[in-house]
Amino acid sequence: MVSARRSLLVSFGERYTLLLIGVAGTMVIARMLPPAEIGIFSVGAVLVGLAQVLRDFGVGQYVVALKSLTPEQLRAALGVAVASAWTLAVLVALLSGVMADFYDQPRLRDVMRLLAINFLLVPFTALTLSYLRRQLRVSAIYTINTTHSIVQLVSTIWLAAQGYGCLSLAWGTVAAAVAALLVSLPLRPAELPWLPRLRGARAVLSFGFYATGGNIVDEAGVAAPDLIIGKLLDAEAVATFGKAQALLNLFSQAVTSAVSPVILPMFAGQARDGRDLRASYLLTVSCMTAVAWPFFALLGTLALPVVNFVYGEQWDAAAPLIRIMCCSSALYSMFIMARYLFIATGQVREQARLDTFTVMFRVLLLLPAALVGLQWVAMAVVGGALFRCWLTWRYLSRLAAIDARGLLRAVSRSAALTALTALAPAGALVMMQSGLAQLVVASVCAIPLWFAGVMVFQHPLAEELELVWRKVRRRDAV
């Protein structure tokens, strides 16, 4: 438990470092590049992102979740990763012209070809990161990922200042991949192989088929709004929707991405030991919603001031989209860790089915919505999220014996905590006229209200906060 707490703390440190770098970069780049330029890169990134899921082909999850790993299995995993990634690099480069013609954006061809270079480099770094994650060596992961983000930010800003437009974002991604590979070499565990092989790849492919199937379908659901908007509306609309989605995704970047590298190995270890995962999952839900719900309450209430502060006034159209999508994002935080529970317990086929059903439903809603406008697209996203929450709960009740009563009990104190914290943004909105003043007052008041609520309502997070406080006092005393 001590090791898990330490890993979580370092993982949160990594995520918040990356988040600060990312937000700083977003604030600068959103003011340096017009929406149309960012929209072109966004379409290319989404298209290549679909291939990125296939590029890994479940190798990362295979390395983390397998009970024991031999050198032969590691070489086979590297072989599958390299073969799939290099094949996809060629396919992305070949299809770049077709996609540029389809979206009527000539520079999309160059963006996709630059992003294809990453497929040649990433497999070696990705295997190292997966193995480090299996060992919970979060400090090494921190170093690699932070280097990647810093190099990407500096390169992109410099190239944007030189007038490269959307290509500055693509070149920044390539530079970051090279930097991450170079930094990972001295941190690479000695037992990891350098040479790939395909003997024994069948076991990796068998695991990866269902894991990747679910991931590619899930990624398609994430990518669907951008791809549909890009075709039926325009590049500027893609960028506007992307900015709204990026602010909603701050929770995922700050919390989910920090927790998941620890949660998956922890769930997998408990499953290998034959322990009941229900209590662990419900505790995770309680802690996630205690952070997610107040976050989305503040973001939804003060959407316009947040957009103005982060992106500037040219992105005001993103604010109504954020207000629409906030509630469904908050609700989905109850189920966001279900994927790792299913993977840890070997239910990758069920996860793939869940992803398939939810994405099909989401696309069916998005296609007619995009013909009307962005706000209808946002409402379609909400409808798809609600369906996913309902279906995930059905899978949880069947596969993990987690019923509605247990879920409601797990989030009841988070609901009370959110109601208390939401007084800050609501009061600031009523009392202040300036958007910046609303944001400052709401943030300053929400933090102490949140801490007070955790203690008053005796939320499960209170025990963790008290433990951290005791450690801080002990160090001060020394």
* 148, 180 Cβ separation under 8 angstroms: yes
Query: Which residues are CB-contacts of 433 (< 8 A; sequence separation ≥ 6)?
Result: none
Q: Residue 245: what are its φ and ψ, rounded to 5°?
A: -65, -35
Cα dihedral value 56, 60, 63, 66, nearest 10: -100
Higher pLDDT, 224 or 57: 224
Rounded to an integer, what is the distance from CA 409 to the centroid of its chain?
A: 27
For 99-118, how does the pLDDT look when each residue is reduced to its tens digit (9 = 90+)? 999 888 888 999 999 998 88
Cα–Cα dist 454/463, whole Å = 9
Q: Token digits for 436? A: 């910046």
Q: What is the pLDDT of residue 284?
A: 84
Question: Long-range contact list for 23-29, CB < 8 A, 24+ apart?
Answer: 23/250, 23/310, 24/153, 25/152, 25/153, 25/156, 25/157, 26/246, 26/310, 26/311, 27/310, 27/311, 28/157, 29/156, 29/157, 29/160, 29/169
The structure tokens 């992803």 sit at 355
- 458 pLDDT more than 80: yes
Q: Could you state, in order of their start, the residue ranges of all structural domains in the chain?
A: 1-223, 234-476
The structure tokens 């072989």 sit at 79
Q: What is the pLDDT of residue 255?
A: 66
Model's pTM, two decimal places? 0.68
For 197-221, how does the pLDDT look when each residue is reduced to its tens digit (9 = 90+)? 777 666 666 665 655 655 666 666 7
* 40, 108 Cβ separation under 8 angstroms: yes
How many CA atoms within 13 Å lie on the side-chain side of 146? 15
Cα–Cα dist 140/261, whole Å = 13
Q: What is the pLDDT of residue 469?
A: 57
Q: What is the pLDDT of residue 203?
A: 64
Lowest mean pLDDT among 22-26, 236-240, 270-274, 322-326: 270-274
Higher pLDDT, 256 or 154: 154
For 28-51, how does the pLDDT look when each residue is reduced to its tens digit (9 = 90+)? 888 888 888 888 898 888 888 777
Q: What is the pLDDT of residue 188?
A: 82
How many CB atoms neighbour CB 240 within 10 A? 24
* 78, 60 Cβ separation under 8 angstroms: no
The structure tokens 């959110």 sit at 418
For 364-401, how does the pLDDT look when each residue is reduced to its tens digit (9 = 90+)? 999 899 888 889 999 999 999 999 999 999 888 887 77
Cα–Cα dist 417/399, whole Å = 30
Q: What is the pLDDT of residue 320?
A: 93
Higher pLDDT, 350 or 326: 326
Cα–Cα dist 238/374, whole Å = 9
3-state secondary structure 260-290: HHHHHHHHHHHHHCCCCCHHHHHHHHHHHHH
Cα–Cα dist 229/23, whole Å = 24
Q: What is the pLDDT of residue 1?
A: 44
